[in-house]
Amino acid sequence: MDSIYILLNIVVLLALIGLLIWMQKKHFSFTKRVFTGLGTGIVLGALLQLIYGTGSEVLTETTEWYSIVGRGYISFLMMIVVPIVMVSIIQSIINLEKTAELGKMSAWIIGILISTTMVAALIGIGTAVVFDLNAEQIEMGQAESERATSLETRLGEVEEQSTPQRILNFIPANIFLDMTGERPTSVIAIVIFSIIVGIAVLGIRRKNPEQAEMFTKMVNAVYAVVMRIVTLVLRLTPFGILALMANTVASTNFAGILELGKFVIASYVALLIMFILHLVLVGAFGLNPLTYLRKAIPVLGFAFTSRSSAGTIPLNIQAQKNSLGVEQGVANMSASFGATMGQNGCAGIYPAMLAVMIAPSLDINPLSPGFIIQLVLIIGISSFGVAGVGGGATFAAIIVLSSMGMPVALAGLLISIEAFIDMGRTALNVNGSMVSGTLTSRILKNLNLKKFNDKNAIEENVSL
């Protein structure tokens, strides 16, 4: 009997995919198709949980089948991360007139990412204080206890590695190993290797222009093929979001969310405030925040459902370059760096809120200037030092809390709502990388304002 219900659930998903295909054939906008996938995924997931109940065998097997579409889409995106990052950055650099431009570009992108993360930490502190969050308000069950123990064990591994050692891990010792994504810092290592290759080509161009020209043609040819693959994969975005959202909602522990509702609300208030601040920054540089938001929403929708900053890199680059008018090199750099450092949600707001919650139990005043300054500085350093490390927000929290001399077990008590909050954090992280790219391109005066203000740019370039 269960197999019949599972088959029925699969048929429902296929029917919704058919709807999205029909919308594509009828030339509905990319944004409308993305949000149709998002909305129908939420409804489908809610119905599945309501009908079968959390943890039921039918629901478990159904989500496994749905994962073929959802997680399969993320796998396709991860497949093209390395090629697009490597080829895009090499091509961007060999098209630069001066290597000095590379330094300015990187400095602005990294500076914006890190500084906004420190501001996000202040927002996290303020929100935790306003909502009067306290570690003692959270009860520990068996799952939370096991998670806390796991984090304590992981802390021992983290403490063995200093910040300089973590930064040293960025340097690629074996680029072929990093191409497999074996290391947590593989993406940033690939970025560094690609920069070195690009600079080397600029040097060859001065001495052997013919060889440099031959290499440039090869890179341009490979780039064209890679971008075509990117376009083909991105066409699957509405389908991927549909399945991912259905699985997420169907598997969400709503009882846990209600139990920790105060922390959930506080977290999303902090994320929303930081998101608004991003839009204010866009406006402060003479750009229309609503235009930016309209073009960024499809990317943020995928980031929200997938909870993967790295997986969002291809869509991020496409949207920046083709919809927002960001210069190609800046778009490549900001998307790559933004997935591996200065993450406003995971490395900024989350660790700050946890630190404020724990402080009173250690007789520390979370509003004392000394505490706030120390916490913000540590978060700023950690957001760079733990760049690209797997585990995201949890790992960042371990680093920050241990550096502040605080117990890390609290992060384990929030396991029941981790996925729900992580969706918002990931969307904010990705938005931070897009803002850094847009502002950097604006500062360097290579932002295509005509494309930025073109309402149809998102239709022409992201969806086709």
pLDDT in tens, 35-50: 899 899 989 998 998 8
Return the pLDDT at 126: 93
pLDDT in tens, 300-312: 988 888 777 877 8
Return the pLDDT at 151: 52
pLDDT in tens, 263-277: 888 999 999 999 999
Of residues 243 and 56, the one with the higher pLDDT is 243
Identify whether the C-beta of residue 109 lies closer than 8 Å to the C-beta of residue 433: no
Which long-range contacts (C-beta less than 8 Å, at least 24 apart) are formed by 420-424? 420/252, 420/257, 420/264, 421/264, 421/267, 421/268, 421/350, 422/307, 422/346, 422/392, 422/393, 423/248, 423/304, 423/305, 423/307, 424/267, 424/268, 424/271, 424/304, 424/345
DSSP structure class, residue 171: S
Protein fold of 2-461? Proton glutamate symport protein (1.10.3860)
Among 277, 262, 338, 281, smallest CA distance to 122 is for 277
Which sequence spans correspond to the domains of the chain? 2-461
Residues of 106-134 as b/e, b for ≥16 C-beta within 10 angstroms? Answer: bebbbebbbebbbbbbbbbbbbbbebebe
pLDDT in tens, 312-370: 888 898 899 889 999 888 888 888 888 778 889 888 898 899 888 888 878 888 889 99
Apex CA 202: angle with CA 201 and CA 203, to 5°?
Answer: 90
Has residue 141 got a pLDDT over 60?
no
Rounded to whole angstroms, the Cα distance separating 251 from 254 reads 9
